Structures are given as structure tokens and as C-alpha cells.
Structure 1
């Protein structure tokens, strides 16, 4: 292998460089994505969500060659629908139309402020208002 190829492979294996100290992307409390304060179309938010990671309490879009800071107001994803599958796993749909499969209903964390769950890459999602009340009625009331 040439020295140039070896150097390229080493650079890809190391931590990518932060492009800017400023956040170029923002995600508001409703899970809406913005790029430099302009709304990001859902198809692009969905694309970027695949490389979103939480590292040391900060959020970044991470590729093999660069890293971009993302400012997140609450959780990066808002769950707009969920369903219990026949095997008792929970299928959730986010506001940017990404889908995740969770282990079970016990995966959800219930607090006074919100109902949330863990997703891959250290990420969290919370239920939107409609799902929040539906979840309470289905799983947290005395009748259920």
C-alpha cells in the first residue's frame, strides 16, 4: 500500500475535524430541523438524522471526514405515532418520518415533563402532545 493511501486510511479512522464552533443546524422542541435559521425540508432532515450523534452532552452530524455542531432545544426527535407490534415491541414514527423499533413499552421513560425513549447513537425522542395523552390513557391509568 502506498504512503498516500495509508495516510488517507489513517485520517478516516481518526475523529473527524469540527467544521465550525458555531452550530449550523438547529432542532427545535417540536423536532423541526433548521439550517442557518431556515427550515430544512423533511427529506433532508431525515437524511441528516442518520448521521446525528450525541457526544459529551452535545450533538453533531458526523461523517468520516467532518463534524458539524447541532443545537438541540430539547430532544432531537418528536414521536408523532407509535404502535405495539404482535411481539410486544414498540414501533415509533418521528416528525421527520423516521421509524424505530423499541424493545417494549418499558423502554419509555416517564417524568413530569415528558415521556421519552432512547434511540441509537445516544439520542432521545419524546412523545408529542397527542401521543403523550394516548400513552397515559393506554398504559398509566388505573383502568389499564
Structure 2
């Protein structure tokens, strides 16, 4: 268990989440004429590959992550000059850390992604859990921005389950968490 944060620390963490989203390039407005495919792949574990080799420069991955856009099932790196299709195996980001904080009496779940972005689960950044019908294995996701999501790392999902409470959903017992006044279903009980 981590030590409780001071009010100043909580405020700084929440301000970072707001700044992370506001400081992004306006890729949704860019409509470049040049479009092509590039041999970049984001693996399910969040590692980025170029031509089969892991991109080891974290700064480069962070920059690429800020110009990422999703259109339907396709993902692109977009600049004012070009739009390059890449392959994303599952979700382009992975949530690698979770912290529950209380801001003015309201509990908030604060996630950190593998590219260093801070995101508070709320109405604009909902949590959802998909369950594989064949295996029953859950795949939990957090919307990071626009229609881009982060897959919650296994340890983060376990933390989320520990924070969950039992609720009734359609007459059945479920686990759910609350963040910034929103309730998110984690999974059915039993």
C-alpha cells in the first residue's frame, strides 16, 4: 500500500492529467494529402516495433504516441504533411500504474500509461472490460483520448478489482468501481 498523498500532491497529479491531454498536437484537424503504410507495430504489451525491432528510444515512442489517431479499426501517425498507417495488436497504450486519490471528497482513479500520460477515469475517459467468450479472460480498457484506449496491465487490473465494490446490475451481482462520480462495471460475480 502506498502512503497517502498530501493535498498538494493530489492537486499536482490531477493537474498533470489535465495538462497531458491539453498539450497534444491537433491531429484530428490535420488532413495531409500523402498517405502510406509504415512498418511500425504496437504489440499488446505496449512495445513499439519498427521493421521488426523494438524502438528503444523512449522519447521517440512518446512523440509518436502524441500524433496517433484512430479511424475505425485503423491507426495512423499523423503530421500536417503525411498520414502513415501502423499496426496495433490490441490497444495503443498500456496502463502501467493506478492510484486512487481523493479530491474535495471525490474519489478518483488516476492511471499512468506506458508512455507517461496521466489519465483520470471519468465520463470522458471511461473504463470498460471485454470478456473473451471462449476463455472467460477479461481485457480491461481505459479511454485515454478521442477513441484511443489503454489496455490495463494485469497488476493494474488486480488493483482495480481490489478497489471494486459489489453492486446490482440487471438484477445480478457485479463488481464496480467509482471514479470522479462515475460508476464503471468491472465484471459479474459468480
C-alpha distance in 2, partners of 1:140/1:114? 19
- Confirm whether residue 53 of structure 1 aligns to residue 69 of structure 2: yes
In structure 2, distance between residues paired with 1:50 and 1:111 = 26
Q: 1:135 aligns with which of 145, 160, 165?
A: 160
What's the Cα RMSD here?
2.3
Equivalent residue in structure 2 for 1:122, among 144, 147, 158: 147
* Cα pair distance change 1:37/1:18, threshold 3 Å: farther
User: TM-score under structure 2 normalisation?
Assistant: 0.60
In structure 2, stretches of 5+ residues that fail to align are 1-28, 132-137, 167-174, 178-190
| Higher helix fraction (1 or 2) | 1
- Structure 1 SS opposite 2:116: coil
Measured after TM superposition, the shift of residue 96 of structure 1 is: 2.4
Q: Does 1:108 align with 2:127?
A: yes
Check whether the contact 2:75–2:85 (CA below 8 A) recurs between aligned residues. Answer: yes
Spell out, residue by residue over 1:69-107, the C-alpha distance to the aligned partner (whole angstroms, 9 max, x if none).
110000011100011232333321112222223327x92
SS of equivalent to 1:24: strand
Question: Structure 1 residue 33: deviation in Å?
Answer: 0.8
Does the 8 A contact of 1:18 with 1:66 survive in 2?
yes
The residue aligned with 1:90 is 109
Higher percent of residues as strand: 2
Structure ranking higher on relative contact order (CA contacts 8 Å, 6+ apart): 1
Moved beyond 4 Å, runs of 4+: none
Contact (CA 8 Å) 1:24, 1:68: kept in 2 or not?
no
1:76 to 92, 95, 102: 92
Q: Distance in 1 between matches of 2:34 and 2:147?
A: 19
Deviation of 1:140 after TM superposition, in Å, equals: 4.9
Q: Is the CA contact 2:70–2:76 (under 8 Å) kept in the aligned structure 1?
A: yes
Provide the aligned length of Structure 1 versus Structure 2.
129
* Mapping of residues 25-64 of structure 1, within 5 Å: 25-40=40-55, 41-64=57-80
Residues 35-69 of structure 1: per-residue CA shift (max 9 Å, x gap): 22221122111111111010122000111111111
